[in-house]
Amino acid sequence: MMKIRKSGDRGNANIGWLTSNHTFSFGQYYDPDHMGFGPLRVINEDWIRPGAGFDTHGHQNMEIITYVLEGALEHKDSLGTGSVIRPGEVQRMSAGSGIRHSEYNASSDEPVHLLQIWVMPRTDGGAPSYDQKRFFEKGTASRGFTLVASGDGRKGSLQIGQDADLYAGRFAADESFSHKVEPGRLLWLQIITGSVVIAGETLGVGDGLAVSNEEVLSLDAAEDAHVLLFDMVP
């Protein structure tokens, strides 16, 4: 079964310094039909004005992945980590028993555009931790799917506390790709740029696709496309 979540149907928040689209219920946006998908709880597409950001705040029992699309995001946390995340890099923060952090646009004159993703962990508690890694170099034309996060850290991916694989996919126009689905697992596809055709349906920028009880996900890139694919337990 496949179900499209159209970009325009997402929740939206605009508080001046932050504009955010919510794929699933978040903050003041509540939709009982879109509370998450499997362990995937949040996909927020954020635009943060220059010099602005989230003041220090806390999280518990959540795997948080930050994927910067444009600009740069400055991160500081209670573990003593200080870093700047740029396009091509992926950040993973396991909140565990509790962590506090802040996130600010690192630029004083350009906005930062990012996806923030929350995945529920397999178990609560544990020591909080942080990791960040570059997967794509600026100007390179990587093709196909690259594993950027997983429950076991294989193939150099960032390790998270859940049986969930996150792939970043980059496809040229007219390129086709198939992803085999292991029995009982769920997929979520999120379109970042471009468009793809799946089972005769075209998905564009900001669209999502929930996939269950399928053996293979096959896509055709209608134009150059950048997508994220989650492969996870129910």
**Residue 127: CATH number of its domain:** 2.60.120.10
Please identify, among 115, 134, 153, the residue that sits at the C-terminal boundary of a domain.
134
Residues 212 and 111 grouped into a single domain: no
Average pLDDT (130-144) is 82
Whose CA is closest to 33, among 11, 58, 61, 7? 11
Assess contact for 232 and 185: CB atoms under 8 A.
yes
Residues 96 and 78 grouped into a single domain: yes
Residues 53 and 100 grouped into a single domain: yes
- In order of 23, 48, 118, 161, 227, the CA distances from 35 in angstroms are 9, 24, 12, 20, 21
Let me know if residue 139 belongs to a domain.
Answer: no
- Confidence bin at 137 (pLDDT 50/70/90): confident
- Confidence bin at 142 (pLDDT 50/70/90): low
Where in the sequence is the domain holding 113, given as residue range(s)? 11-134
Residues 228 and 130 grouped into a single domain: no
Please identify, among 95, 114, 134, the residue that sits at the C-terminal boundary of a domain.
134
Residues 92 and 30 grouped into a single domain: yes
- Confidence bin at 144 (pLDDT 50/70/90): confident
Question: Mean pLDDT across the chain, nearest whole number?
Answer: 96
Residues 115 and 170 grouped into a single domain: no
Q: What tens digit of pLDDT does each residue of 178-207 get?
A: 999 999 999 999 999 999 999 999 999 999
Residues 18 and 129 grouped into a single domain: yes
Let me know if residue 30 belongs to a domain.
Answer: yes
Let me know if residue 2 belongs to a domain.
Answer: no
Whose CA is closest to 182, among 157, 214, 208? 214
Longest dimension (CA), the chain: 49
Q: Which of 11-25, 69-83, 128-142, 200-214 has the lowest mean pLDDT?
A: 128-142
Structural domains counted in the chain: 2
Please identify, among 80, 105, 134, the residue that sits at the C-terminal boundary of a domain.
134
Residues 118 and 35 grouped into a single domain: yes
Let me know if residue 4 belongs to a domain.
Answer: no
Percentage above 90 pLDDT, the chain: 96
- Confidence bin at 139 (pLDDT 50/70/90): low
Whose CA is closest to 41, among 178, 221, 205, 230? 230
pTM metric for this prediction: 0.96
Rounded to 5 degrees, φ, ψ at 200 are 80, 0
Residues 227 and 207 grouped into a single domain: yes
Listed in sequence order, the residues at least 6 apart from 150 whose beta carbon sits closer than 8 Å to its beta carbon are 157, 158, 159, 160, 164, 165, 166
What is the C-alpha to C-alpha distance for residues 161 and 97, in angstroms, rounded to an integer?
Answer: 13
Percentage above 70 pLDDT, the chain: 98
Residues 56 and 154 grouped into a single domain: no
What is the C-alpha to C-alpha distance for residues 64 and 54, in angstroms, rounded to an integer?
Answer: 15
